[in-house]
Amino acid sequence: MISKGGSEALLQALVNAAQTPTPDYNVLLFLLRLAAKVGQKDKKFGLKAQKLEAVDVTLSLAKKNLNHKQNLTHCLWVLRVYASSVTVGTTLGVNGAMELLFKVITPYTRKHTTTARAAVEAMAALLKSKPNSRRAVSKGYVCQLLRLYQDWHQQDTSNSYICIRRAFLLCLKHITNVRSGRECFLLASGMETLFKTAQDCLSSKSLAPITNTVTQILRKTYPKMPLPSAALSSLYSFPIPGSARKGPSQPSPEEKLLSYGCEEGGEEIEKDLNREDVEVKEEDDDLETDVEKLMSQPKLDRPESDLEQYRAMCSELCCSLLEFKSEPEDEGSSDDATGTLTRSCLGVIPHATPANHQPKCREGDQASNSPKLPQKAPRVPVQNCLAKEKTSQGPGKLSPDKLGPVMDTASLNVLDVQNCRGRCLNSCEPVGASEVIKKLLERHPGNIPFHNPRFYMAKAGRTRSIPEFRVLAFPDFWGHQTLPYSQSTYQRRYGIQKTKIFEDVRRVIQPEDTIDRVIFNLDGPSCDAPECLKFFSKFESGNLRQAIQMREFEYDLILNPDVNTSLHQQWFYFEVSAMKSATPYRFNIINCEKPNSQFNYGMQPVMYSVKEALQGRPHWIRVGYDLCYYKNHYQRCTAAAVAAGTSGKLCYTLSFTVVFPHKDDVCYLAYHYPYTYSAMMSHLDILEQNRNPKKIFFRKQTLCHSLGGNPCPLLTITAMPVSESCYDLEKFRGRPYVVLMARVHPGESNASWVMKGTLEFLLSSDPIADLLRHCFIFKVIPMLNPDGVINGNQRCSLSGDDLNRQWLKPSATLQPTIYHSKGLLYYLRSLGRVPVVFCDYHGHSQKKNVFLYGCSIKETLWQAGHSVDTTVVTEDVGYRTLAKILDKVAPAFLMSSCNFLVEKSRESTARVVAWHEIGVLRSYTMESTFCGCSHGLYKGLQMGTGELEEMGAKFCLGLLVLQLKSLPCSREVMAQAASLLDLEEEIADLRVQRTSPVSVETDDELPVGDDVDYNTDSCSDQEGDFSELDYAMRERPRGPDGGSAEAEAGKGQVCGLKPCDGLYISSR
């Protein structure tokens, strides 16, 4: 009807009927009802009505029928539909529509409530227009609307007219979209009024339309303020080679994208503050559709002669069997738990950092006065860690002897040893902390697989950090044991997010109730107050910059941005002590950056208790309740915002409550299970020591050194050749390569746990692992960004770069690990040995399950709506095979979450470069969730370290199945595989474990493209939804007056919304 001109015909009929000398209202009311219904479906209805002069006619009819409620109500329904067009709404405002509506809107009454509701909802529609909102402010309507809302709220004790009360709130919501409206609202004590009236509504689901809208208004009018920390960038800086600056003096493109500001010339803020700010999405729709570019072969980014240096990293291709067996150990490997660490004689690519580039700390950091690091760390016997005594200690940290140039203490935070608490760094104690460590080492059960505290201490002594860490976090020293059970995803109670937002608002309304005391501060002095928690974060991978006590048991926490940036605050890892028992402590991390988080969908942070560990339970466990993640009122004043003279982007709060298991314990809280660089290095030593050298070829080399001077290990793993015969050596060297990498983003610690599972399986005595070693040569780089991990970064390296956006043209100086990783791939390609699989392990913060991203020209073109010329574009579909296999053999993996699109914004990532430049068909990014699974065996459970390690092992199994099903394979291998496992039976077992078909997303997450009102400030109220208007028109009595029937029509009418875990989503 609409496409055939039905709207125009209807409007013309309405105009004609209204302009007759004696209008027939039976006809007019029918036409008005029909216009209200058709207008809901026709997005241009208002503009069409204005063109045909139906807007003026309807407004005139309304003015003539002020005393005839039935006729007036029909006119108001249609005016509301007209006003859905902002242009028409503005015209109606100029022509006196708002003044007309205020004659109709009255204080609380039970008469003519349908008319009152239509008038208030029409007013709300008009106020979507910014000029109308300003006009309402200038006429004093803000105070009037507040009084009317308060009257209806107080008098409607039976909650019969929720929609009318909400319509008043929508009027206020639209008015406060303009600056003058917000100012007038605050002057009229609007915050106090709404805060007070909504208190008794928070716990009622039926009143959620009221509390949701109140929350949106309060958050919008909450005074914006800078973060308590005045720093624009990271506390730590690092002098970038080739640059005189110590930090980012110019705003980066990413900072520019993330910042937004006010309009020029002091104009009104025209932005709808409910709209989500522009975000850098993990999945971009910017698809690459240039077929010629996709199919071209890029040139080398370096001279071909430079590739010769990587020959030393592929010695398996040229060395004899005798050389394999007699190769020296690499630096840092150990003969036994108390033996000395010996250095390898293997070739190493030169250090990337010039000798004069040393890490620096900002003013106020105590470590900035420490002596500069020498260029090379001396080799220190592990037993020396226990031989010397040094009594300098930090608060609650045991400080043993000097371990090396970077770490001269290993404070171990153990409350169970009475004399180790309360000692200060650089204080003189009669008893050396080394004695305490000796006792702890004697007490260590030694039952944590692939962990040795002595190994860890030795490796930590060689680890270089910007703050020159002199403290070991106890969980990293003592070790973590996988929980013997799985933890369910957290189900938060209804309304907790709104409750916390109201508590934030209370700080403005009742500031006298807050303490606002800085008790931990890396920037400068802090208050050492009694009866409060103690915080600490100056240890490897730690990140907490400031802690502010707001109430007795509530603390605001501020994270440090990545080094040399003012961005990427998400990862946290800190120590907390001096707690009381059975006391709930609320923590608010107030400068998070990402616009959404799995913390809203069942994810919990992790905690490690020292007392629990000493009692035989050394576990990181998921903890916390009343979790929510929402946008707050703090502005992140980035360098880009300051340079542009604009306001900063708003931050997000992660809020959760923890009850600690013991009084006066020392606990550690983290975003996810920490996995430090020192842990990785000690883990590699243990793996090397435990392997079977007769069967396993394992070589650990240094790919290069990072900017901070830390070695980036490169592992080669395969099966030893059977003999020195030419045939066996040829088979050995002819095995295809698989290249695996992880932890390019420091905050994605789950990637390291998956890699740990992969390495432990590859080096195990499992017959399947043995067969896999006979099938492939594995090149593994377990940590691509050592400096970022060490210094507690979320995403970047010391140069301030996201290393996974540097693969197109990496710099040997600024991004050495990427430069040499790509060089190794180039070298393999030059030998005609392009890897059959390349996989970069990552973590995903906004999705559940484990899945792959791959590359396909055809799928990209199809997704973009382009036709594919199959005579030009030919493609091997084998890129999908591994994902299909993992979907069958790995319980945490979900094929339907995978995609194989090539995006312009991802062209510089490892996955796309390995596919496009190196020619790897099966080039993947494997994303592991921080939260849990939405399907199958682990549905409803959070991922633990055991599940992550299992995924790493299952990835290896997937490679074996890939070899058997898709790659050239010898009969011998096929026979061995058949004797080891029945693949079809194993797959069938997993299918039984999986549930019936489920959607990709969980019930509390909407499919991509739908907005979840998780931060209660999006336009989720759907004022354009006219379902209740349809209901009102159906129920509308046909009598001439309406009288008492109208009074009943408004009762119990709740807007068409449905609750969703404490939030509200429009019903459809």
How many residues make up the chain in this entry?
Answer: 1068
* DSSP H or E run through 946: helix 945-966
- What is the widest separation between alpha-carbon atoms in the chain? 111
Q: Which residues pair with 556 in a beta bridge?
A: 548, 588
User: What is the residue whose two structure tokens read 């005189």?
Assistant: 244
Q: What is the DSSP string of 820-855?
A: HHHHHHHHHHHTT---SEEEEEEEESS--SEEEE--
Which tokens sit at 285? 């729709």
Of residues 596, 458, 585, 597, the one with CA closest to residue 532: 585
985 Cβ neighbours under 8 A, 6+ residues apart: none
Cα three-residue angle 26-28-34, rounded to 5 degrees: 105
| DSSP 8-state secondary structure symbol assigned to residue 386 | H
* C-beta separation of 448 from 456 below 8 A: no
945 Cβ neighbours under 8 A, 6+ residues apart: 480, 482, 483, 620, 673, 753
Which tokens sit at 906? 């991802």
User: What is the residue whose two structure tokens read 């036409």?
Assistant: 31
Q: What is the DSSP string of 736-769?
A: PEEEEEE-SSTT-HHHHHHHHHHHHHHTS--HHH
* C-beta separation of 747 from 592 below 8 A: no
Packed helices 69-82 and 113-126: angle between N→C axes, nearest 10 degrees:
20
Q: According to the 3-state scheme, what is the secondary structure of 315-372?
A: HHHCCCHHHHHHCCCCCCEECCCCCCEECCCCCCCCCCCCCCCCCEECCCCHHHHCCC
User: What is the residue whose two structure tokens read 């059960």?
Assistant: 445
Which tokens sit at 604? 């919990």
Active site residues: 927
Cα three-residue angle 894-898-900, rounded to 5 degrees: 160
* Burial of 1027 from C-beta contacts in 10 A (0-12 / 13-18 / 19+): middle
| DSSP 8-state secondary structure symbol assigned to residue 305 | G
Strands of the sheet with 620-622, listed across from one edge = 534-536, 573-577, 666-670, 606-609, 620-622
Cα three-residue angle 953-959-965, rounded to 5 degrees: 140
The one-letter code for the residue type at 343 is R
